[in-house]
Amino acid sequence: MFVSKRFILLVAMGVIPAALSFIPGIGVYALLAYNFLLVTLLVVDFSLSPRIRDFGFRREIDQILSLSAWNRIGLCIENPVKYRLKAKLRDSVPESFGVDKEVLEFEINPGRNRNIFYRVKPTKRGEYVFPDLHVRITGVLGLCVLSKTIKIADKVKVYPNLKDLRNSHLLIVQKKRLLAGLRKIRSLGVGTEFESIREYSQGDDFRHINWNVTARTGHIYVNHYEPERNQYVYLMMDTSMVMNEEINEITKLDYAVNAAFIVAETAINYGDNIGLISFDSEINRIVAAGKGRGHFQRLAESMYNIQTTENYADYQKAFTTLQREQNRQSLVLLFTDPYNFEHAMDIVNSWKVCAPRHRVMVLCIKNPALYGMAEKEVLTTEDIFSKSAAMKLVDDRHRTFSVLEKSGIHVLESAPDRFTLEAVNRYIAMKTGYHSLPFQQ
End position of a domain, from candidates 227, 250, 278: 227
End position of a domain, from candidates 206, 227, 248: 227
| Residues 143 and 284 occupy one common structural domain | no
| Residues 343 and 327 occupy one common structural domain | yes
| Residues 243 and 392 occupy one common structural domain | yes
Predicted confidence at residue 320, as pLDDT, reads: 96
Average pLDDT per block of 10 residues along the chain, 441 residues long: 85 74 65 84 89 90 88 92 89 92 90 91 90 91 91 90 55 49 40 59 70 79 65 95 89 91 88 94 94 91 91 95 91 94 94 93 92 82 84 90 93 91 86 53 53
Choose among 204, 203, 201: nearest CA to 219: 201
In three-state form (DSSP H/G/I as H, E/B as E, the rest C), the secondary structure along 223-244 is: EEEEECCCCEEEEEEECCHHHC
Predicted confidence at residue 250, as pLDDT, reads: 84
Q: Where are the alpha helices (DSSP H) in 245-286?
A: 252-269
Residue 266 belongs to a domain: yes
Predicted confidence at residue 342, as pLDDT, reads: 93
Predicted confidence at residue 191, as pLDDT, reads: 41
| Residues 62 and 42 occupy one common structural domain | no
Q: Where are the alpha helices (DSSP H) in 309-367?
A: 315-325, 341-354
| Residues 256 and 111 occupy one common structural domain | no
**Whole-prediction pTM:** 0.72
For residue 403, the one-letter residue type is V
Is residue 363 within 8 Å of 256, Cβ to Cβ?
Answer: yes
Is residue 132 within 8 Å of 150, Cβ to Cβ?
Answer: yes
Choose among 80, 85, 71: nearest CA to 135: 85
Is residue 40 within 8 Å of 143, Cβ to Cβ?
Answer: no
By DSSP bridging, strand 192-199 and strand 221-227 are: antiparallel
Domain enclosing residue 399, as ranges:
229-431
Predicted confidence at residue 80, as pLDDT, reads: 86
| Residues 214 and 234 occupy one common structural domain | no
Residue 186 belongs to a domain: no
C-alpha distances in Å from residue 102, one per residue of 70, 99, 129, 409: 14, 6, 17, 50
Residue 348 belongs to a domain: yes
Predicted confidence at residue 226, as pLDDT, reads: 55
Residue 183 belongs to a domain: no
| Residues 242 and 209 occupy one common structural domain | no
| Residues 310 and 409 occupy one common structural domain | yes
Predicted confidence at residue 183, as pLDDT, reads: 44
Q: Where are the alpha helices (DSSP H) in 335-380?
A: 341-354, 368-374
Predicted confidence at residue 437, as pLDDT, reads: 46
| Residues 334 and 365 occupy one common structural domain | yes
Residue 417 belongs to a domain: yes
| Residues 297 and 210 occupy one common structural domain | no
Residue 11 belongs to a domain: yes
| Residues 252 and 346 occupy one common structural domain | yes
CATH number for position 100 = 2.60.40.10
Domain count for the chain, please give it.
4
| Residues 290 and 419 occupy one common structural domain | yes
Predicted confidence at residue 269, as pLDDT, reads: 84
Contacts of 272 by beta carbon, 8 Å cutoff, 6+ apart? 229, 230, 231, 232, 233, 291, 431
CA within 13 Å, CB half, 237: 31
End position of a domain, from candidates 10, 31, 48: 48
For 11-59, the pLDDT digits (tens) are: 888 777 666 666 666 656 777 788 888 899 989 988 888 888 889 999 9
Predicted confidence at residue 426, as pLDDT, reads: 87
Predicted confidence at residue 382, as pLDDT, reads: 80
Residue 170 belongs to a domain: no
Residue 437 belongs to a domain: no
Predicted confidence at residue 336, as pLDDT, reads: 96
